[in-house]
Structure 1
Amino acid sequence: MDTVADLGRSHIRIARPTDNLTAVVAFYRDGLGFEVLYEFAGHDGFDGVMLGRPGAGYHLEFTRAAGHVAGRAPTADNLLVFYLPDEAEWRAAVDRMERTGCRAVPAFNPYWDRQGSTFEDPDGYRVVLQHASWPAQA
């Protein structure tokens, strides 16, 4: 009998490279309110920062590799979506992004504009602050 891992209970790390580590960290820390959970420098040629909330089931990791160009997002539809069903919390999240100088951009998929606001990070990856519950009703 095979043992099957319960991935629904695992912690998830969403990791990607960047050429703009300082600006990307500021976007997610100052704009979205994430905390720096861990930082490293010069680890086998990599520098990195992990951001999130203590106790959350996920965190984001951004790395920079010496001599490597990461480039920009391959499309305008590379998204992280955060569902915020409470109107006051959603409005506060959007306001926080705007206070840091971020402006909403039109979503590639117009679905996200109906109940959300989309923001583009310094690498062209997008974050949607969606005023809805998950699972959302389409």
Structure 2
Amino acid sequence: MNGTAIDHVKLQIPADGIETALAFYRDGLGFEIDGMDLYESGEKPFFSVRLAPGAVIHLEPSDDFAAPSRTAYDHVAVRVDDTIEGVEAALDDAGIEIDRRLDPLGATGVAPAVYVTDPFGYRIELKAERA
């Protein structure tokens, strides 16, 4: 068996964190939201942040939400079709603080990246695909 890509990651958020999630992922980072209609109708227990045509983060509101521990979770890395300067400018425009900057080794090699933390404590790596 050979994997081809990560399809999705599923993360819990607080039950009352939907608007906060939309403000961060949609309004701040600029990702599209999928499946909100299915979530609101009760057909699905989550809605999705569309990262790329074949990749999403499912966000599941939960009354049992507990903020992630760095011993159990570190980050999700997302390749972004932009330069690192473009990523940093977009984050600055959205008022999103950069936690750290690195040139990490990832699935496609070494590339510049910035790390941000969402309102629920999940760290997101935004890795530039263009120089």
Aligned to 1:78: 74
Gaps of 5+ in 1: 134-138
8 Å contact kept, 2:87–2:128: no
Alpha-carbon distance between aligned partners in 2 of 1:42 and 1:84, rounded to the nearest angstrom: 32
8 Å contact kept, 1:32–1:93: no
Deviation at 1:105, TM superposition (A): 1.0
Which TM-score applies when normalising by structure 2?
A: 0.70
Aligned to 1:43: 42
Question: RMSD of the TM alignment (CA)?
Answer: 3.1
Instruction: Name the count of aligned residue pairs.
Output: 119
Does residue 18 of structure 2 align to residue 21 of structure 1? yes
Deviation at 1:45, TM superposition (A): 9.3
8 Å contact kept, 1:25–1:49: no
Return the letter of the residue paired with 1:83: R
8 Å contact kept, 1:13–1:58: yes
Secondary structure of 2:4's counterpart equals helix
Alpha-carbon distance between aligned partners in 1 of 2:81 and 2:49, rounded to the nearest angstrom: 23
Aligned to 1:117: 114
Gaps of 5+ in 2: 105-110
Does residue 100 of structure 2 align to residue 106 of structure 1? yes
Identity %: 16
Which TM-score applies when normalising by structure 1?
A: 0.67
- The structure with more radius of gyration: 1
